[in-house]
Structure 1
C-alpha cells in the first residue's frame, strides 16, 4: 500500500455529546484532517460520505473505535470494501486488530465478512421458520384491519340493497373508499 495521509473520522450520536475526546486522540496519532459529525449511526452520515469521496489510494481512515464508524458488522464490511476499492486503509485506535494496512488485519476482516454472511443466512432462516410457525398458529401479520367484520357485513348489506353509493357508505363508516374496497371479499 502506497503511503498516504492519516485521515480521522469522529462521530457522536446526539447534539449533546462532545467530539473533543475523539478529536484529541485522532490528533495525537497523527491525523492531518478529521471529519466530524453529530448524527446517529442509523441516519445518513454526510461527513462520512465526504471523507470517502475525498480519499486517495494510500490514505488511512482512522477512528477511535469501530462503533464511531459503523453501526453494524455489515455496515463495517461495506465501508471496508469501499476503502479497499479506493486503495485506502482502515485503522481503529481502540481495536488494534483492525488495521487493514497489515496482512493480519485484512485476514481478520475477511473472517468477519464470512461470519457476518453466515449470521445473515441464519437470521433469514430463523425468521422464515418463525413466520411459518406463527402463521400455522393463526397469527396474522401486518396492520390491524380498520373495519371490523360487523362493519364489513353492514357495508355488504348496504351495497346489496343499493341504499347508497360505495363512496357514501365509506363516509358513513369513517374510512376512505379504497379502504372499504380492500376490506370487501373479492
Structure 2
C-alpha cells in the first residue's frame, strides 16, 4: 500500500496543501491514505505524521513530495527512514533534491546511504566544534555553559527586594524577566544569596 504525507508550515491558510496532495495522488496514493500537518518542520509534535507512521505496515511505501516535508533535520530524517527500513517499509521522494530517493530500489538505497553518512559526519563536526570551543574557553579562564540569567545588578536588586515583606515575588520576577524557580536559584526568600548568585558575584562558597 502507498501512504502519503504532506505538510505546510503555516496553519493560517496562507500556505496550501493542494500542490503536495495532487503530486501524491498522481503517484498513485489514494486520497484517504494521505496524512497532513499544518506545522513547522522543526516541531516534534506533528499529529498527522504520528498517525501516518502508525498506519504504515510491512510492505507499504511512504511517499512525500520533498524531503523537507518529513524531517526536522538531517538526523531526524535519516533516523525515521532507517526505522521504516527496519520494518520493511519503503520511502520515496517525488521532487526536489531528494527526487532520486526510493528505498524500494537498489539505487535509491545507495543514495539514502550517502545521506546517512553525511548525517553522521555532521554530528561528529558539531561534537568536535563544541569540544574545541570549551577547550578554548577553558584556556581563557572561562568555563563552558549557559550565561547567567541575572546580572550582578539584578541580583543585588533581588536581594534588596526579597528582604522586604511588602515585596510581591511575581511582580519582582516580571520586572526582572525571569520565573520564580530562576529567582530562587539566585536569592532566597529572605534575600540571602544562593549558589548561583554567589557564582555571578564572585563570592566563594
**Contact map agreement 1:55 1:86 (CA 8 A) in 2:** no
Whether 1:24 aligns to 2:22 is yes
Whether 1:10 aligns to 2:6 is yes
**Contact map agreement 1:10 1:36 (CA 8 A) in 2:** yes
Q: Which deviations, in whole Å up to 9, do the C-alpha atoms of 1:97-128 show, x marking residues without a partner?
A: 21000011112222221221122112101111
Deviation at 1:138, TM superposition (A): 4.4
**Contact map agreement 2:58 2:88 (CA 8 A) in 1:** yes
Deviation at 1:96, TM superposition (A): 3.0
* CA distance 1:119–1:171, change in 2 (3 Å): same
Please, which runs of 5 or more residues in structure 1 have no aligned partner? 153-166
SS state of the match for residue 87, structure 1? coil
**In the TM superposition, what are the counterparts of 1:36-185 in structure 2 within 5 Å?**
36-43=36-43, 44-94=45-95, 95-139=98-142, 141-144=145-148, 146=150, 148=152, 170-171=162-163, 176-177=187-188, 180-182=193-195, 183-184=197-198, 185=204
Deviation at 1:170, TM superposition (A): 4.3
TM-score normalised per structure 2: 0.72
**Contact map agreement 1:8 1:31 (CA 8 A) in 2:** yes
Deviation at 1:37, TM superposition (A): 0.8
RMSD after superposition: 2.9
Deviation at 1:145, TM superposition (A): 5.9
Structure number with higher relative contact order (C-alpha < 8 Å, ≥ 6 residues apart): 1
* CA distance 1:169–1:6, change in 2 (3 Å): closer
Q: Distance in 2 between matches of 1:14 and 1:90?
A: 25
Q: Distance in 2 between matches of 1:171 and 1:80?
A: 57
TM-score normalised per structure 1: 0.79
Between Structure 1 and Structure 2, whose CA radius of gyration is higher? 1
Structure 1 stretches of 4+ moved >3 Å? 138-141, 167-170, 172-176
